[in-house]
Each structure stands twice: as C-alpha cells, then as structure tokens.
Structure 1
Amino acid sequence: MTLFSRYGLGSGYNGAYFVPALSRLSTSVVAESSESPKDIYGGLFPTVLSSIERPEVGAHNPEINDLRCIGSYNWVDNINPTIIAPGSPPIWKQKSMPFQVIHDQLNSRINQDGHRLPSCDLLPLFKAVDVAKEDDPSLDIDWKSVDFVTNRNGLRKLLRWIDGRGDSRRQRPFRLDLELAGERTVLLNRWEENRLAPPGMGYGFGFEKETTVPAPGCENSTGHHRIVQYDFGGLNMIVRFEVDACIEVLPQATPQGRSTSNNMARKLNDSPSSLHSSSGVDVEVIRAGQLVPQSSIVELATRSERGANYFDWTESYPQLWLSQTPHHFLAVHYKGLFHRLETRTLDDDEMKYVHAEFEGTFKKLRALLETIQEIVVKHGKGSCLSLVCKDGILAVHERESRDGCLPDEVMNRFHL
C-alpha cells in the first residue's frame, strides 16, 4: 500500500506542552456502568521490602536488536475467554479526506487480558505462541534464557517514573505484579485500578471505524495483540502490545503450506479448539487470520488541529520504539472533521532526532530492569512481589497470596 504524503509536520519532540494521547483504538468499547477503583495496596503486606532509586545513568547500549514476532491474537467477546490466533490487526484503507465522525461515547476496556483473565493475565501470550509454533515448527524459544515477559504498558510506566517530570498526569500511581519463573525470568504483570476508561474528549473510535476494516476471520475481534522477542542491551525480552492497524498484506502460507487466511476461520458458534490447562483457567482458541509482517503494523493517533501543531513525542515515541512499530499515522481534525493525515516511520530522520532525546532514558530503563531482576531473583522461587509507585517513590511489597500468575504446565517451560 502506498502511504499518504506527509503534510504540515507538527513541532515534533520539543514538548511545548503535554498533549495526552487520545487514541485507544485497539481496545474494545463497551456500554458498562462505572465501578469503584481497586486499592493499589490491595492484597499486599504493608511492609516495604525495599525502595528503588531512579538510575543515575545506564552503562549498557540501549538499542533493540534481533527482533522477531513469535505470536499474535485477537480477543473476541464470548462466554468463555476466547482468542483468535494468530488473528490479524484491522486493515488500513486509504479513505479520502475530509470526513466527519461522531464524538466517542462509550467506555473502553483498559486491559482486555486482565479484564477477561484477572488471575492469568499472561496466559493468552503463551497460547498464541503455541499456535505460531504449530504453524512454524522452526520457531524455537529457549524460555529459560528469557529475562522478562511483560506488556509494553509496564515498560512505559517505568519510563514515566524514570523521567520524573512533575506533570501529575505522568506521575500517576501505578502497580506492577512480579513473579519469578525458572532461575532468572521475571513475569511482569499489568495491574490496573479500573477495568474501564470513560469516553474522554476524542474521536479515536470513530476514526478507526471509518479508516479500517476487519481482516478476514477477525470480524468479531475486540482488539489485536502482538508478541515480539528482542535483545534490549543484553536483556532477552518478550513483549506483548496492542496493534491498531496494519497495511494490507497478501494472505500467506505457513511453512507447511497451510493457508492462514479466511478459509481457516471458525465462527463463534462452532467449537473452538482449546489448549487445556490443569489449573481450571483456560483460553479457547479459534484458528483464523495470519501473522502479519512487522513492517506492516501501524500506530494510529488523533489530534485536534491545535494538538497536532504542538505534538509532543514524550508518550508516543517510547510506545513506538518499545514495540518497534514502524508506522505512525497522526490524523488531524477540527471538531471531528478529519482533514489531514501526517505519516511518519520509525526510521525517519525526524524520528532519529527524537530518539537521541530519549537515549539516556532508555539506558536508565535498561539499568532499572536489571535492578528489578536482581530483586526478584534474590527473593527466589515462590515469592510474589509487587512494585508500587506512589508519590514518586517506587517500593517493593510482598503479596499475601502465593497463587502464581500462570498454570504449572506453563511455568514448567522455564525449567526445561
């Protein structure tokens, strides 16, 4: 697909003022009532085991190398937790501008994995990797050599804390639940105080509806998730993240010659396959979609005319870089009338200039992750810890429950 030409680039990384991201495009929208937020210290012992200082400097090269996609999936609404694997992101279509969309009016699920599987947030990741390995037997993962299994969201929260700016929107309290798998692997689980986010002030959902179409077999999808593995300054990382859209690619065949396009799709009223778990918590798997190339994935964002003119990369660039998302499409509107699209790629000269501004922060993230790993390994197998950031202080607590975040048969992968 030919990309749109670039028009009127904003002021880039200079941060004239912070414009919060309005795009929650790959998260499902729901008409559910509001709820009381969870207690950030809920289920934790009050004693602080240790406090973590912000790294002064990082010694390791913060580059990301050897990236490969090891799985992907889409959530669907079903009575039982159900994913489409490998699934596919919505496909970007070149809709002519201008066009009008209505204001976002529904709540959105903040974290679909935690919403649908509160006790096993990471389980769909492993299910999707198993499907990818079925399609490509050459896909080999040495789980015991992995340093972190995490969501991109957790890394972004740690980056905000490292940055330490006084903006209250960037210094909101957060919690990350930690568990040791095998000898060295840290499972970093997302924790959110709310299940739902209010509609806000944007037009992101309307924009996505007008500019993307579901991939064949993924018509009932409520969000696409991608899993990549890469080397981050010597740390072996497995990172899950949401994908807003992709540039259309032709249906591909697996190494065994089996098509992964629409002819493999099963409707929800059929019996989906399930990779059973002895823990009683399970995810049903519908086989449909295809594992799209990394080069095709797109991050979508929307801004008003004023917001685009003062676009700040403080939030958006780490989001792109930590997942190596190559395309960023910024749609500009006036009261929902979209009239301009600014397209950038991660390797643009402008993005290289932005990266230089973040290089020191990424070094500090690498140092912080090593500190977190040392703490978790020190406490050993069976310890369930949580990082809690409040009032700018990052503290380690022990959780009251010893229940693991994954079934035993998944945890055993880190010992083989």
Structure 2
Amino acid sequence: MSSHSSYSPRGWRSRGSGFRQPRGSSSYRDRTFSPKSGTLVPDRVITEGLLATALRTIPRLEKSSDEKEVKITNFECIGSYNWVDSPSPTIIVPGSPPRWQNRPTPYSVHPDDGVAFVDQNGYRIPSAVLLPLITAVERKSKLNDATFDWASVDFVTDRNGLRKLLRWIGGTAKKDFRIDMQLAGTGTVLLNRWEVRTSEQMSGFTYGFNFEKASTKPVPGCEKSTGHHRIVKYDLDGLLMVVRYEVDACIPWEEEPTTPRPRAATDVDDLIGALAEVKITPQLNDASTIPKAESPPKLTVLNGGSDVPQSAIVELTTRSINRVHEFDWEESYPQLFISQTPHHFLAIHERGRFIRVDKRKLTSTELQNVMEDVIQPHLKKLRRLLGTVKKLVIEHRQRGRLSLVCQEGELKVFQRVGRESCLPDEIIRKFDVKFV
C-alpha cells in the first residue's frame, strides 16, 4: 500500500488470501496494488494439470502428549524486495515497507474499490513465483561477501502456505487450497503458492487498503513500489525454513540507513548476472502444453530502499467498531508467529472514520496466552506434517511433481502431469550439495 496516489494507480487495490472478509473489515495478507494494465482473468480449476487419482490422503493428525514445545530459533532476515508497477517483472532490492506516519485519530478514508492482488508474485511472474525470493537472498549474500547455503534448507515457502496448512490442522479451512511441491537438490522442498485467481474485484465494503494508504508513506526510492516482501530464515524444531511474507509498514528505528536512488542492477558487482537477467518460461494452464512465447519474460532488478530491522516491522489490520469484538486471535496470531512480526496494529473505524489504533506486540502477555493455550498444539502438528511432506517429496526425487490439495476438508497428494520446473535450471543447481 501507499500514502500517496503516485505509489500506485488509483482504483487498484490489493486484498488478503482470497477469503471474504466481513463488511467493514480488512485482514491483511498479500495486499498490494494491481498494476494499471492489470485485468481479471478466468478462475483456474484446482485440479488442473493433476492426475485424476490421488497418490495418497493425509490423515488428520492426532494430539501427542510427548511432543516438546515447538519454537522458532536462529531467526534471521536474509533478503527483501519491492515489486514495481511495470509491464515486465521488476523488483527493487532491498526495497522497504512504507513508513507508519502515526497520524492522530480520528480521520476518515474512502471505501476500498478497484481490482486487487490475491498473490502478487503469482500475478507478476507466474511460472517462477519463488524467483524473486532467491534473487533477493542471493543479492544480500553477495553484498555481505557470503554464499547462502541453499542445500541446508528444508523448506522454501510463503507464509501463506504454512497458514493454510495450520487452518487444515485446526479444522478452520474455509476454502479449498492447493500447494505445488518440488524437490531441489537432495533435501530441499519448494512449496509454490497456487491460487484460483491472482487478482480479484474488491467489494467496496472495506476500508483497510485506503487506511494503509492514508496512514503510511513510501520511503525515498520506493515511490513506485506496489508491495514489500521480506524473506526470513529460522529453525522450526529441527527444520531449516526459508519463509517469504508481505510487510504492511515499518515504524521508525534509531539509525536511518541511506536510501540510494533505484537503478538497474547491471554491473557484475551489483548482482549475479544469471539472476539479474533470468529468462522465465510462461505459466501453462495445461501442464502438457508447449509454450509458444517468442521472448520469455525476465526479472529486472533495481537498487533502492534500505534494510529495515525486524524490530520495526508492523502488521496492519482494520475492523469496524461493530465487529471488533469478533476479532479472532487464534486466526491472526499464527500470521505474526510464522514471520516473527513484532508489532500488530488494529485500527478501529465507524464507516471509514478511524477512531483509534490498538497496538500490541508479539511478546505481549495477551498473545503469549493464545500461543500457549491454542496455537502450540497446532504448531506441533504442523511440524509433524512438514516432516511427512518432506519424506514424500524426497521419495519422488527431483523429477517428481507433487501437489497438496485440500478439498472439503480432506488433504490429498496428487501427481502433476507436466514436468516443468518451478525455477530455471541455473537456480535449481544452487540447491545441490557442494563439497569443500
């Protein structure tokens, strides 16, 4: 989102993970603005490109009394980027979230309207949704004169996929979902987000996106940004996770880093050439179809923004004063926990007139009680489920193409018809074990 009209085209908004929100409320997940040239496309069928018969059904996980508490340790931000409203896929690295302006309440905003992203990465670069993630991490490693060890990672995923699995575990999945999987190297599972639609029409009954626009300001160098994504690495009870998520805003921090003007990263010293000019095969609606594009798109990288400390990251949510009592921390807390987002701002409004902002920290007693009483049992099951998924994907090796599909509450594993890779070969090779 933005605070100025120049930050994104008027009339284009972004929304959450595809779930309908109550009138007058907005729950942020992936909510960046759609580009000026964007159009709505027909919905995909959740079983497209899959074999008709499921490989197996994953049973409901039972509670185990002997499991230890699941914690996140060795947390580190390893990359970030902003999407740019451009005809071809373009990101700003490291980019920056818009800054929270801390405006005094009350103030009013217009209802949200226009077309919104459900998944901006899937919209802008559908055949390689994880490529911007890899590119941003590689760039940060290079600037630090280091090499990121992709072969040591167990899962590369979006936060959205982990939240969907947690909803299935808790029996609260309101919509069917699919996650495409692929093995990279000998032990890294790539979880690719899959959506029925990557953009959709806003209802006009919410105020959250215009609230963010009115309450934040883009940093210098990111004025044309359409959303900031952050990539973090951590240990989840023995699994090394690389997780990408979108950031709504940041609050001021003590030292203000410099913000260089965006420019194309064409020099060898700026970015590995293979990542700055990677050619991507267009996404196929039918996995057996041969692409006919004459010039496959490439990912362009610009320099701009600045590294933002994790302590400054904010998640924004809005609720009508008539529905604020319905706010569900059991649903919202995992979003903060999975990405270790330290701040949550809940903005309360009366028909678009915002009267207060309730601010909480991930470490607050209120949220820690939710974690211990409700969320921890689900996290234990998630850890077991991820172990099962990894074992299954490894069994089908690098040429295997599997998808997790949840329909009517049942989670099944299907094989895909096509053998297309979710990343270019030169990127996949980064996951091979390297012997020194």
Tell me the TM-score normalized by structure 1. Answer: 0.88
In the alignment of these two chains, the number of paired residues is 384
2:378 aligned partner: 361
- Partners in 2 of 1:23 and 1:171 — Cα distance? 17
- Once the two structures are superposed, what CA deviation does each residue of 1:172-229 show, in whole Å capped at 9, x if it has no partner? 1100000000111100000000121331321011101111000110000000000000
1:392 aligned partner: 409
Q: Which of 169, 177, 180 is the matching residue for 1:177?
A: 180
Preserved CA contact (<8 Å) 1:26 1:224? no
Task: Decide which moves more: 66-75 or 314-323.
Answer: 314-323
Within 5 Å, which residues of 2 pair with 1:135-174? 135-138=143-146, 140-165=147-172, 170-174=173-177
Preserved CA contact (<8 Å) 1:30 1:109? no
1:28 aligned partner: 33
The code of the aligned residue for 1:187 comes to L
Q: Which of 227, 230, 243 is the matching residue for 2:234?
A: 230
Secondary structure of the residue aligned to 1:302 is strand
- Partners in 2 of 1:143 and 1:315 — Cα distance? 31
Secondary structure of the residue aligned to 2:317 is strand
Q: Does 1:263 align with 2:265?
A: no
1:262 Cα deviation after fit: 2.9
Structure 1 residues 401 and 25, CA, compared in 2 at 3 Å: closer, same or farther? closer
The structure, 1 or 2, with the larger RCO (C-alpha pairs under 8 Å, 6+ apart) is 1
1:375 aligned partner: 392
Q: Which of 126, 129, 132 is the matching residue for 1:124?
A: 132
Preserved CA contact (<8 Å) 1:26 1:243? no
Unmatched tracts of structure 1, length 5 or more: 1-17, 254-260
2:5 aligned partner: none
Structure 1 residues 234 and 121, CA, compared in 2 at 3 Å: closer, same or farther? same
1:133 Cα deviation after fit: 1.5
1:45 aligned partner: 51
The code of the aligned residue for 2:245 comes to F
Secondary structure of the residue aligned to 1:363 is helix
Secondary structure of the residue aligned to 1:306 is coil
Q: Does 1:406 align with 2:414?
A: no
Preserved CA contact (<8 Å) 2:182 2:191? yes
Unmatched tracts of structure 2, length 5 or more: 1-20, 281-295
Preserved CA contact (<8 Å) 1:144 1:182? yes
1:49 Cα deviation after fit: 0.7
| RMSD after superposition | 2.1
- Once the two structures are superposed, what CA deviation does each residue of 1:84-135 show, in whole Å capped at 9, x if it has no partner? 0000000001101100100001121111111111110000001101221232
- Partners in 1 of 2:357 and 2:349 — Cα distance? 9
The code of the aligned residue for 1:55 comes to L
The code of the aligned residue for 1:87 comes to G
Preserved CA contact (<8 Å) 2:51 2:414? yes
- Partners in 2 of 1:282 and 1:29 — Cα distance? 19
Preserved CA contact (<8 Å) 2:109 2:207? yes
1:393 Cα deviation after fit: 0.9
Preserved CA contact (<8 Å) 1:25 1:244? no
1:391 Cα deviation after fit: 1.1
Secondary structure of the residue aligned to 1:262 is coil
- Partners in 1 of 2:86 and 2:311 — Cα distance? 31
1:137 Cα deviation after fit: 1.9
The code of the aligned residue for 1:22 comes to S
Secondary structure of the residue aligned to 2:322 is helix
Q: Which of 332, 335, 338 is the matching residue for 2:354?
A: 338
Structure 1 residues 34 and 124, CA, compared in 2 at 3 Å: closer, same or farther? closer
2:7 aligned partner: none
Q: Which of 93, 96, 100 is the matching residue for 2:104?
A: 96
1:277 aligned partner: 278
Q: Does 1:322 align with 2:338?
A: yes
- Partners in 2 of 1:184 and 1:235 — Cα distance? 11
| Paired-residue identity, % | 46
- Partners in 1 of 2:305 and 2:278 — Cα distance? 24
